[in-house]
Structure 1
Amino acid sequence: MASDACVINSLTTYVLEKPPSCIEFLPLDNDFCVIGTYYLDTGDGQECPREPGQETNAAQSRSGSLILFNVNKTKPFVVQSLHTSYAVLDLHFSSNKPNVLAVATSIGTICLFTVDVASQQDLKLKEVSIIDIARPSILVLSLVWCPSKYEDGRLAASLSDGSIVILDCDDMQHSRYQEQCHTLEVWSMAFLPAFDGRSQILLSGGDDSVIRANLVNWRPHDSSGSCGIIDKNLILPNQKIHSAGVTAILPLTATAATAATDSGLQITVTGSYDEYIRVLTVPKSSSTSRWSVLAEKRLYGGVWRLKLIRSWSSQCSDNFSVLASCMHVGVRILTITNSKDDGWTIKESAKFEEHKSMNYASDARSEPSGGNTQDCLVVSTSFYDRKLCIWKYTSC
């Protein structure tokens, strides 16, 4: 379908050794990013890439790597490459300890790494902990750190068997709580502050096409037993408003003022295999409200990941610039607006189409700019051809 979005060209490209599955800029030095890769050994002496989350037979094994990468706009290069005995499915730096990196693996573990950024010349990833959370046959599909400073070191991990594990990484015993939340793979998660102001809502999206909101009651760090529990009495309705798996969840409420939003509703954006991006309201309780779709737009590719680039408010609207990794159609930059006059709208502002295979991993950083424009540098990748592209987007 025709679009008035501008088409962006790459500044430079690079071919990686293995297929990239996830990527994130270093919070403490965004001249660098970490890339996770995913590779499948078929057992017949041949290696081939495999889509993240797909099943393998007994003769097949997954491997991967963690790549510390210098994002130089003219000549990017690999600083460090750590080959791993597992495939990497997701990775995220802690918001409270930005030198700590959590890595989701294909063998039922979470691996913690640290990055020393005292000197760019000596920048290195260092493994500090391996935490077993499931059987080796279970894949850890996604991770999300709890954003609250009071819950430092706690994260949620989603698994290929449909369950979610809540974990305290700072506890020597790695106390945890596990709940079966979906009937199929759990692809995505996100935390929201609960309406009571004391707990957290954990949103989860599964291959069962369900988005579910779970109320997490945290326990003190020094308490015995699990670090947190999901209150089954306050699980919000798990409506099937998506026609395929829910692959991405991006809350907007905590990132910008919501002056144009009625009644202080929690707002989240979802992506799905059904190729749609949707703006949803999160129900306040299981008895008083239901999920509501405020806006939706078809992007013509499965929406695998969403990343907030920036947010800003004007007298009449709240605005969000969002980076979308759209699998077989490449990368899109969307402007999501909540206007007092027009309500919620989704506009396709830019697209990057140089990727010729599945785009799973993209990230963006802010760039210095003059005047009233806002620049961001984007690193995007494609899976089967192992291509990494660096490009710039300028918004008004």
Structure 2
Amino acid sequence: MEITFMVALVIALALFFDFTNGFHDTANAMATPIATGAIKPKTAVALAAALNLVGAFLSTEVAKTISGGIIREGTDGVHITPEIIFAGLMGAVLWNMFTWLKGLPSSSSHALFGGLIGAAIVSIGFNSVNFDTVLQKVILPAVFSPILAGIVAYVCTKLAYALTSRHDPETGDKLTQKRGGFKTGQIFTSSLVALAHGTNDAQKTMGVITLVLIAAGTQPTGSGPQIWVIAVCALAIAIGTYTGGWRIIRTMGAGLTEVKPAQGFSAEASTASAILASSHLGFALSTTQVASGSVIGSGLGRRGTSVRWGTVGRIAVGWLFTLPAAAVVGALTGLLVGAGTVGVVIAAVAGIGVVVYMFWYSRKSHVGHHNAVEVEEAGTAVRFRKKKSGKQRSGKNVSKDVQA
């Protein structure tokens, strides 16, 4: 198998996208258990990285959707070149970096699709995109998945509080609620989300690399990802996950609603179920949208809490603009690389410059496991309130309901 410089460049950029996908989406699995104090921050991201690595080997249905579904490679006279895929990836990477810098849990999946679609349209035409597949396996899941996940999380949260409610058998008054077991449960549900994330998101990069190998003529049209492609993509997303993505963890763990263990357990169970089902069906689901919908639903399901709708609105705007914004960047890069080698070099240098600038700019307000104040204080607040509640209620049999 002969790998040209252009193909190698695209594979390298695809793996960097996979890396950004990892640290961008760590929050999907680990934000809520970190917020409730169920798992220590560094332990949480290490666990998520390991399970992302394992999950990447479990399925390839989503990879096939990308490599042979969205782009009409090999049909209707369409031939996708490595340059076009390079342009599409540039759109996805730059949008991922921008939303990470802003702490917005946007969809890496839709950024990737948008970039590829924009680059393909300006380079070949609208006939290069299978819009039926885009509608059925990208847009419709994007609309309904966060809503359905939110509803399931809402119901699960209501059930969790109802089934664990304690009352005085004589007076019927509510007693101090003991729901610490949900913290232990969160370890398992968040682990399942991380595993599910690997089965869905790592495959998107597998699909892109498979597409470029097909485009370069080194792999038959319609074939799935090779084992070495699966391995390097699994490793890239695992390394990215281990870096943390603390800015988005802050938003997901404390920015949408105050999260308690029962809520977190319900949100994570809902998220994992939706992602695993979509991976089985080949839907290129946005794990970020599902996780966000679940957190919001769990917030609505707990009596006495509130959802920060201003933050929800910012996230929703990010979702709305993700696909078209990445498509515009992909299209502009596509026009640039269409000029030949010089255009590719200019696009690569410009892209590297923007990424480096964003990393440098982020250091001005660095967020890490040691200073993610909102996240860690949220977990500490849970423990403090419980201890304080116990002291205040010592010697008493009856107390107000504590929705912990």
Over alpha carbons, which structure has the higher Rg?
A: 2
More helix by share: 2
Q: Shorter-chain TM-score category?
A: under 0.3
Give the TM-score normalised by the residue count of structure 1.
0.21
More strand by share: 1
The one of the two structures with greater contact order (alpha-carbon pairs below 8 A, sep at least 6) is 2
